[in-house]
């Protein structure tokens, strides 16, 4: 990152979207601007695993965590798109978030 | 990770991995291939004939929305010559169906298709809101399922259309296979795997052109084409979200994505082994009141997105139905080898004469069809206030009946009846 000067790294601003019915778990809001620290305590960069934890702890008000997370990962049946690309092509939960990323969680589990 | 090039065009950046073969495709190739595969399903099964009028069972949800979009695209691209329209059921659930119907109305404009909406209120004199007020949330899905089956048929008949397509996808079919395997219900398993469900006696056939399409791809197709769809669970079956059979399918997909189509294939192969005329004794397991093989696009809990609780409810329903249905309809499998030996304990079903419900004229082998039976129960217990308005039970029944007689159609389908009876969501 251009502004990742030592000691003064900027926070990472991303947009997280919930759709396909998942928005109901997140205050019925589809889009959530999220701010993440540039580095974690261990010096690593925040990845999707970290984001999930952050979302559950700070964004999700609904108590039914299991509808979103299972075994510390996204529940099967929920698709994750990183800048419109299937997260399977981006390293899944190990993907390190970049400034301005758009992360979409789409549930496939709802009625059709 | 470095961008991956599309497996198909080798140029654009891949944005999806196909569950069935792990091919990495770019947006344009994915959309094209998805459409082509549906086209191949349609042509490979001679699903339509030129000039055919087809109603798309539309709920506003992802599956039926994608179905409508793809059928419009293919109809124009390959000159199917289809006359397409949207057919929606208004169960009368405020805060759920009214919202999704708005989506369907927008779809009608977007896809330039006429839209027909048939409501439980007009057909039966009861909206689901009223039903739930009366019977509570438990078991209300049974009413909804039974009513829906007739409603779609009546809607199609009203339009003079004999073919209704629904948005059932490969995940739905796989789930049906698994559920019926677990229940030991081969006739239903067989039926659920068929792309077309109708019978000799049937007037209106149903089919599922998206039968081989992964739910994941349907959702991605909708996403990449930015289709306008609605996704919220029915407020009366919130547990559907956690459906156990659904969870199983999704877990399998996670481990091995091709599992879903493999289960569909297995189901088809098993179906080929099911004798044409099989009836089962005993618990009447083939009459399990579940609509997972033939639900219409429209309810979150359909397609067997059943929780354990729903399974239990289903069992209960089954037992309740047993008496009523002991004289009841045969299951005729529309296709399949006729010369198969019957399994031990199976027996050839005796043909029954299909008649019409005395109340509403709907096809039924019973004197009174299932919907009317349910309505009887509802009307009998109608809140006092309603009855006091000088409407005796008899009158009230007949008024509902009258309303339904106005809807009287020439529906003559054993298959239809059976499904109607089976319908449970």
Q: Hey, are the CB atoms on B62 and A112 less than 8 Å from each other?
A: yes
Chain B residue at shortest CA distance from A104: B223
Chain B residue at shortest CA distance from A18: B231
| Pick from B233, B247, B298: CB nearest A110 | B233
B220 touches A at CB < 8 Å: yes
| Pick from A89, A107, A112: CB nearest B17 | A89
A95 touches B at CB < 8 Å: yes
A110 touches B at CB < 8 Å: yes
| Pick from A19, A86, A109: CB nearest B241 | A109
A85 touches B at CB < 8 Å: yes
The shortest C-alpha distance from A35 to chain B (Å) reads: 22
Domain boundaries in chain B? 45-230+241-422
What pLDDT, on a 0 to 100 scale, did the predictor assign at position B199? 58
Chain A residue at shortest CA distance from B301: A111
* pLDDT tens for each residue of B307-329: 344 444 445 555 555 444 444 44
| Pick from B13, B17, B246: CB nearest A109 | B246
* pLDDT tens for each residue of B95-149: 888 888 999 999 999 999 999 999 999 999 999 999 998 888 877 888 888 898 8
d(CA B226, CA B340): 48
Contacts of B224 in chain A (CB under 8 A): 84
CATH of domain B45-230+241-422: 3.40.50.620
B270 touches A at CB < 8 Å: no
- Spell out the SS3 assignment of B338-401: CCCCCCCCCECCCCCCCEECCCCCCEECCCCCHHHHHHHHHHHCCCHHHHHCCCCHHHHHHHHH
- pLDDT higher than 60, residue B209: yes
- pLDDT by residue, tens only, chain A of 112 residues: 444 444 578 999 999 999 988 998 999 999 999 999 999 999 999 999 999 999 999 999 998 898 899 889 999 889 999 999 999 999 999 999 999 999 999 998 876 5
CATH of A12-107 among 3.30.360.10, 3.10.450.50, 3.10.20.30, 3.40.640.10: 3.10.20.30
Q: What angle do CA A29, A32, A33 make, to 5 degrees?
A: 155
d(CA A15, CA A32): 6
ipTM for this model: 0.90
Domain boundaries in chain A? 12-107
Higher pLDDT, A103 or B281: A103
Contacts of A19 in chain B (CB under 8 A): 223, 231
B145 touches A at CB < 8 Å: no
Q: Hey, are the CB atoms on B218 and A108 less than 8 Å from each other?
A: yes
Contacts of B241 in chain A (CB under 8 A): 21, 67, 109-110
């Amino acid at each position: 990152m251009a502004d990742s000067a030592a000691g003064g790294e900027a926070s990472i601003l991303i947009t997280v979207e919930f759709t396909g019915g998942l928005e109901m778990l997140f205050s019925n809001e589809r889009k959530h601007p999220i701010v993440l620290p540039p580095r974690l305590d261990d010096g690593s960069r925040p990845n999707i695993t970290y984001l999930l934890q952050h979302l559950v702890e700070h964004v999700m008000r609904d108590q039914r965590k299991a509808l979103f997370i299972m075994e510390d990962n996204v529940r099967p049946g929920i698709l994750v798109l990183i800048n419109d690309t299937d997260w399977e092509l981006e390293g899944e939960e190990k993907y390190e978030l970049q400034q301005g990323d758009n992360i979409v969680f789409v549930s496939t589990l709802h009625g059709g | 990770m470095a961008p991956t090039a599309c497996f198909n065009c080798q140029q654009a950046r891949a944005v999806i991995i196909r569950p069935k073969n792990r091919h990495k495709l770019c947006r344009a190739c994915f959309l094209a291939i998805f459409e082509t595969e549906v086209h191949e399903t349609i042509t490979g099964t001679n699903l339509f004939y030129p000039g055919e009028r087809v109603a798309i069972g539309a709920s506003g949800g992802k599956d039926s929305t994608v179905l409508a979009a793809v059928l419009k695209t293919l109809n124009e691209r390959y000159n199917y010559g289809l006359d397409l329209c949207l057919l929606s059921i208004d169960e009368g659930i405020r805060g759920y169906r009214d919202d999704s119907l708005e989506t369907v109305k927008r779809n009608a404009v977007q896809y330039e298709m006429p839209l027909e909406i048939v409501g439980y209120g007009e057909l039966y004199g009861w909206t689901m809101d009223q039903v739930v007020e009366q019977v509570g949330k438990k078991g209300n899905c049974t009413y909804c399922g039974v009513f829906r089956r007739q409603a779609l048929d009546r809607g199609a008949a009203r339009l003079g259309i004999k073919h209704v397509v629904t948005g059932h996808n490969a995940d739905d079919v796989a789930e049906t296979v698994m559920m019926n395997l677990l229940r030991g219900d081969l006739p239903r398993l067989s039926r659920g795997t068929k792309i077309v469900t109708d019978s000799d006696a049937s007037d209106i056939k149903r089919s599922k052109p998206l039968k081989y399409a992964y739910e994941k791809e349907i959702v991605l197709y909708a996403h990449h084409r930015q289709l306008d769809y609605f996704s919220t669970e029915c407020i009366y079956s919130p547990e559907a979200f956690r459906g156990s059979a659904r969870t199983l399918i999704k877990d399998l997909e996670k481990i091995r994505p091709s599992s879903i189509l493999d289960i569909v294939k297995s189901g088809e192969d098993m179906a080929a082994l099911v004798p044409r005329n099989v009836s089962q004794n005993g618990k009447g397991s083939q009459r399990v009141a579940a609509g997972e093989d033939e639900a219409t696009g429209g309810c979150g809990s359909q397609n067997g997105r059943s929780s354990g609780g729903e399974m239990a409810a289903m069992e209960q329903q089954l037992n309740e139905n047993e008496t009523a249905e002991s004289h009841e309809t045969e299951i005729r499998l529309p296709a399949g080898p006729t010369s198969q030996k019957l399994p031990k304990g199976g027996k050839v079903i005796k043909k029954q004469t299909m008649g019409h419900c005395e109340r509403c004229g709907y096809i039924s082998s019973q004197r009174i069809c299932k919907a009317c039976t349910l309505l009887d129960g509802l009307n009998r217990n109608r809140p006092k206030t309603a009855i006091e308005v000088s409407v005796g039970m008899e009158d009230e029944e007949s008024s509902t009946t009258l309303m339904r007689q106005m809807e009287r159609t020439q529906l003559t389908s054993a298959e239809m009846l059976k499904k109607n009876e089976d319908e449970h969501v």
